Amino acid sequence: MSAPAASFPWFLRVLVAFVRRELAAVGAYRMAFAIRVLGFGLAVGSLMFLSRFVGAAVNPHLAAYHGNYLGFVVIGFLGTEFQQVGVSVLAQRIRVAQMMGTLEAEVATPAPPWMVLGSPPVYEFVVAALRSAAYLLGAKLLLGLDLSHANWPALAISAPLIIAAFSGLGLLAAATTMLVRRLNPVAMVIGSLSFFLSGVMYPVTVLPGWLRLVGRLLPLTHALALLRGTLLIGSGLAELRSSLLALLAFAGLLAPVGAGMFAFALRRARVDGSLSHY
Amino acid sequence: MSDSSAAAAVGAATLPAILVEGLGKVFASPAGLRDMLRGRLFGDPVTALSDVSFAVRPGEIVCVMGPNGAGKSTLVRILGGLLLPSSGRAQVAGIDAGAGTAEFRRRVAFVVGDERSFHFRVSGRGNLHYFAALHGLGAAEARRRSGELLARVGLSQAADRRYREYSRGMRQRLAIARGLLGDPQVLLLDEPTLGLDPRGARDLRAFLREEIIRGAGRTAIVCSNDPTEARAMADRVLFLEGGRLHAEAPPDRIEAELGL
């Protein structure tokens, strides 16, 4: 038996085995799952009352979104969750695998490291997409979220670009976590800055000009512009061109830099022996 | 087989399965407060291995003995390609251990008895299926191979129990089954019977030696600091001390070499 060539079908086999293993373990985390659902219910409830409060006034900053603050803020949180998945999952997975001791056993197999470590982000992005769809549907059915202007084809084209940009950040975050062996510093910095400057809770138009410029350096700002543009306004790709190009630039820059840094971090782990400890 | 290929096969058979030349490993320890105040990013370097050289013949079982901190685990991790040496070289199953190729990882299995290396909330079978996928096996082949290996290590009855419910001996056996997924030529076993009761350890040693290693014509390195283990399993014993290869002896000379 010779080692199969690193290929997409092999990666799919690893992904399926990973998902089966995760689902087998999920049964043991029923309480955690229930708490998560409850947490989401409470968050949506608070957003509903917040939107009633904000939506009661005529707000020029929300005019572009048809005054739909509920949609604005729900998409703000969903975009933030996608960024969180991208930036945190790989780093967290490596940290847990180092602490549990599974990382060493996994990289000792013939599968290349990208295959070993690629499954969790793919799985988590799929889960996040399903969860987002459920949240949007729930918000539409229960809270009357207005998605009548949505441009679904434009969203389908934009989403992979958003995921690619967040994945590039994730590689950087994972490499940094491996190198400094501390809780994900990239996620903490990017997460805080994005919540402040990317327009999660409020439109970026309320920010002073110089802060708006800083905000444009964050992928989430452009991801939210794409998500809100396609889902709430019904914008087409031409109208969203600047955000699409910005995300393309983020993905084109962050993915190779992140991959290079990650390869360096893995090699460093083989030099200092930290594959099996954190 | 043609004359030339027969000659090549004979030549290949006489090549060592493991060749270690001048191997050294120095770890840069993390800087303490005093080091950082002196502007140093690292503490004093720690030498784990120094100028270690030896060869292992195909089919041979070599036990590496030494006290805690002698460098056994460092050595076996370098041979398994999980750690890069600071100096020298190691060739295992004909491939440089530092190369990190998929073919190397197929030919060489690092069987770590570390019980943290499996997913606790998943069954033994589920854990093996996942690692089978990492070996490139499709779902049907993974099921077949996992079932076969679970039977071979005596875990068929317990295959669907969660790993956290396994006893220490069962965990060791599952680690061995995982190591055999790729049908490796060389096995690297780090303290395979650590923590087992005497009878469990004796049975596992016999099983490893006769069925897993000898029965399949494999080469093995066993790290241990237990003379009983070395006597039961090894053809030859290497003694490491302070990161240096201190002596080499047949198993019946262990006590004399250790001064027991």
Q: Which ipTM did the prediction report?
A: 0.83
- What is the pLDDT, as a whole number, of residue B1? 38
DSSP for A166-206 reads HHHHHHHHHHHHHHH-SS-HHHHHHHHHHHHHTTSSS-GGG
Of A24, A116, A273, the CB nearest to B83: A273
A6 within domain boundaries: no
Coil, strand, or helix at residue A125? helix
Q: pTM of the entire structure? A: 0.83
Q: What is the CA radius of gyration of chain B?
A: 20
pLDDT in tens, B160-188: 999 999 998 899 889 999 999 988 999 99
A77 within domain boundaries: yes
- What is the pLDDT, as a whole number, of residue A119? 86
What value does the mean pLDDT of chain B take? 87
Q: Give residue A88's region: left, alpha or beta (phi > 0; psi -120 to 50).
A: alpha
Chain A environment of B138 (Cβ under 8 Å): 13
Sketch out chain B's domains with CATH numbers. Answer: 3-118+183-258 (3.40.50.300)
CA triple A20-A26-A29, angle to 5 deg: 165
The total of structural domains in chain A comes to 1
pLDDT in tens, B121-147: 899 999 999 999 999 998 899 999 999
Average pLDDT estimate for B24-39: 81
- What is the pLDDT, as a whole number, of residue B115? 66
**pLDDT by 10s per residue, chain A, length 278:** 555 566 788 888 888 988 888 887 776 566 777 777 787 778 777 877 877 777 655 677 788 887 788 888 889 989 998 999 888 888 888 888 887 778 888 888 999 888 888 888 888 899 889 888 888 888 888 777 888 889 999 999 999 999 999 999 999 888 888 888 777 788 889 999 999 999 998 889 889 989 999 999 999 999 999 999 999 898 999 999 999 999 999 999 998 998 899 889 988 888 888 877 65
Chain B environment of A14 (Cβ under 8 Å): 133-134
A237 within domain boundaries: yes
- Say if CB A210 and CB A135 are below 8 A apart: no
A148/A146 Cα distance (integer angstroms): 6
Residue B44 has pLDDT above 50, yes or no: yes
pLDDT in tens, B193-231: 887 888 888 988 998 999 889 988 999 999 988 889 999
- What is the pLDDT, as a whole number, of residue B30? 72
* Distances in whole angstroms, Cα of residue B46 to Cα of each of B28, B84, B90, B104, B190: 6, 15, 20, 28, 21
Counting one residue from chain A and one from chain B, the pairs whose CB atoms sit within 8 A come to 120
Locate tokens 């190729």: which residue? Answer: B101
Chain B environment of A3 (Cβ under 8 Å): 102-103, 105-106, 136, 182
What domain range is A98 assigned to?
A: 32-276
A90/A96 Cα distance (integer angstroms): 10
* Residue A269 C-alpha from the chain's centroid: 26
Best probe of the B interface among A26, A104, A116, by most B CBs < 10 A, is A104
A27 within domain boundaries: no
The three-state DSSP-derived secondary structure of B177-225 is HHHCCCCCCEEEEECCCCCCCHHHHHHHHHHHHHHHHHCCCCEEEEEEC
Structure tokens at B93: 């199953």
Residue B114: pLDDT band (50, 70, 90) is low
Length of chain B: 260
**Is B46 in the A-facing interface, judged by CB distances under 8 Å?**
no
* Residue B104 C-alpha from the chain's centroid: 14
- What is the pLDDT, as a whole number, of residue B163? 92
A109: closest chain B residue by CA: B105
Q: Do A13 and B83 touch (CB under 8 A)?
A: no
Of B84, B129, B183, the CB nearest to A17: B129
A272/B121 Cα distance (integer angstroms): 30
A174 within domain boundaries: yes
Question: Which stretches of chain A sit within 8 Å of chain B by CB?
Answer: 1-4, 6, 10, 13-14, 16-18, 20-21, 24-25, 28-29, 100-102, 104-112, 115-116, 267, 270-273, 275-276
Q: Do B102 and A21 touch (CB under 8 A)?
A: no
Residue B2: pLDDT band (50, 70, 90) is very low
- Say if CB B121 and CB A28 are below 8 A apart: yes
A194 within domain boundaries: yes
